[in-house]
Structures are given as structure tokens and as C-alpha cells.
Amino acid sequence: MTGVALVTGGNRGIGLATATALAKAGMRVAVTHRGGGAPAELFGVRCDVRDAEQVDRAFTEVERELGPVGVLVANAGVTRDRLVATMGPEDFEDVLRTNLTGAYLVARRAVRGMVRHRGGRIVLVASVSALTGARGQANYTAAKAGMIGFARSAALELASRGITVNVVAPGWISTDMTDELPEAARVEAAAHVPMRRFGAPEEAAAAIAFLASDAASYVTGVVLPVDGGLSLER
């Protein structure tokens, strides 16, 4: 693979594993961070995906330093789990702004250059919980389900321009996000996965890298679960 990839939230977790996989495949890779910096081997740009101006500045910097962005991975995400009855509007809105509005803002900015260059790959990182629902995650599943609708519509709009838009829907992956859960909850969760374990960030990254590659040139608008069979069980 050649060209430039930008991975939001690529400083850790699934995003970092994806950035590393794309770099190994031969791409020049930029990652966003929110002030914590990026690993030395990757080009880091500071960006909060909730803010359109920061998104524009980050893209401009990447384009100037590395060249036009041909692959966008919209991976930045947060959870703020609460039961619906106790979920405040700020818990709901902030999770939507980061996961859904953030994905829209970066995709919109990426599409400008991709249309000019008549091609590109956009991969959005949603979650299998968007397909199944999850107790305590009404905000998160609403955002992730919204990303799927967004991706399908964008895929239809952009197909004739040679731009694909796809979604990877991870199940349980071992990262800081899931390390926050108590050990007992993680053991219980793993027991419900047909493969009886959490996935590694590299396993989600491999699916993202495939959808970002030339090999996926005729794949658009799909949702690819990477979940050890979890979504089959519900």
C-alpha cells in the first residue's frame, strides 16, 4: 500500500495498532492525539475531533507534511456508560459528539481531497453493540448505529468517485477502554464470546487495514464485525 493515511485516536489502542499495520504495509501514517503526543515513529497531529476547526487544521498539517490523505480511519471514540434513567444530557451529547459528529467532521474534510484525487478509503470504527444494543450504553450504541447509517449513505454518494466507505464493528477488544472494567466483568464478558476471549487490537486493525487496502477495491457500505462470534449469540 502506498500514500497517506490518517488515523484518528491513533496514539493508542485499536487506532495505534491500525496505524502500525498501515505503516508496515508501506503507507505514510499520521495519527491524531489530544495533547499526549504520538509514538515517535508516527506523525502526530493534535486534534479534538469534536471541533471542526481543529479537524481542518490537522488535515492541513498532514497534507503539508505527508501529502494528500488517501485513507481515513475514523477511530476516535469514548464511552460514558449510564443507565438511561440516570443518563444526563451531557453524557448523551458528548458521546454522540465524539463518536458520531467527530466521524462526520473528519470524513467530510477527507472527502474534499479524495474527490479531487478521484479515490480514497474511509473506514469508520463502530461497535457490534450498535447491532445488538448494550445495557448502560444507550448513548454509545446510538452514536455507533448512527455511524453505520452515515457510512452507508456516504458510500452511496461517493461510490462513483472511487471512494469506499466501510465500517468495522469490533466486539470486546483489550485496550484502555475495556481495561476500565472490573476484572470480574471482563471474565463474565469473555465467557459470552463464542471464542471465549477478548480480541487483540491487532485483530481489529487487520480488518481495518484490509478495508483500507487496494484488495478491498470493490467493497463499500459494509459492516464487518470483528467480535469472535459475539454478534451471532444475541
Binds ligand NDP by CB under 6 A, chosen from 164, 165, 172, 225: 172
CB 16 within 8 A of CB 10: yes
Query: Binding to ligand NDP (CB under 6 A): which residues in 63-82?
Result: 75-78
Contacts of 120 (CB under 8 A, 6+ apart): 69, 70, 71, 72, 110, 111, 113, 114, 162, 163, 164
Length of the chain: 234
Candidates 64, 95, 59, 76; CA nearest to 19 is 76
User: What's the rounded Cα separation, in Å, for the pair 32 and 44?
Assistant: 6
CB 145 within 8 A of CB 94: no
Q: Which stretch binds ligand NDP (CB under 6 A): 4-12, 19-27, 61-69, 105-113?
A: 4-12
Smallest gap from residue 12 Cβ to ligand NDP (A): 5
CB 99 within 8 A of CB 140: yes
11 vs 220 by CB, closer to ligand NDP:
11
Binding-residue pattern over the window 115 to 154 for ligand NDP, x denoting contact by CB under 6 A: ----------x-x---------------------------
Binds ligand NDP by CB under 6 A, chosen from 5, 6, 14, 95: 14
User: What's the rounded Cα separation, in Å, for the pair 26 and 6?
Assistant: 14
User: What's the rounded Cα separation, in Å, for the pair 7 and 40?
Assistant: 15
Binds ligand NDP by CB under 6 A, chosen from 23, 27, 30, 32: 32
Binds ligand NDP by CB under 6 A, chosen from 170, 207, 209, 225: 170
111 vs 172 by CB, closer to ligand NDP:
172
181 vs 216 by CB, closer to ligand NDP:
181
| Cβ count near 95 (within 10 Å) | 25
Binds ligand NDP by CB under 6 A, chosen from 4, 8, 70, 137: 8
CB neighbour burial string for 167-205, b if at least 16 within 10 angstroms, e if fewer: bbbbbbbbbeebeeeeeeebeeeeeebeeeebbebebbb
User: What's the rounded Cα separation, in Å, for the pair 174 and 140?
Assistant: 18
Binds ligand NDP by CB under 6 A, chosen from 176, 182, 184, 191: 176
Which active-site residues does the annotation give?
140
Q: Is 49 in the site for ligand NDP (CB under 6 A)?
A: yes
How many positions of this chain bind ligand NDP (CB under 6 A)?
A: 30
Q: Which residues contact ligand NDP by CB under 6 A?
A: 8-9, 11-15, 32-34, 36, 47-50, 75-78, 98, 102, 125, 127, 170, 172-173, 175-178
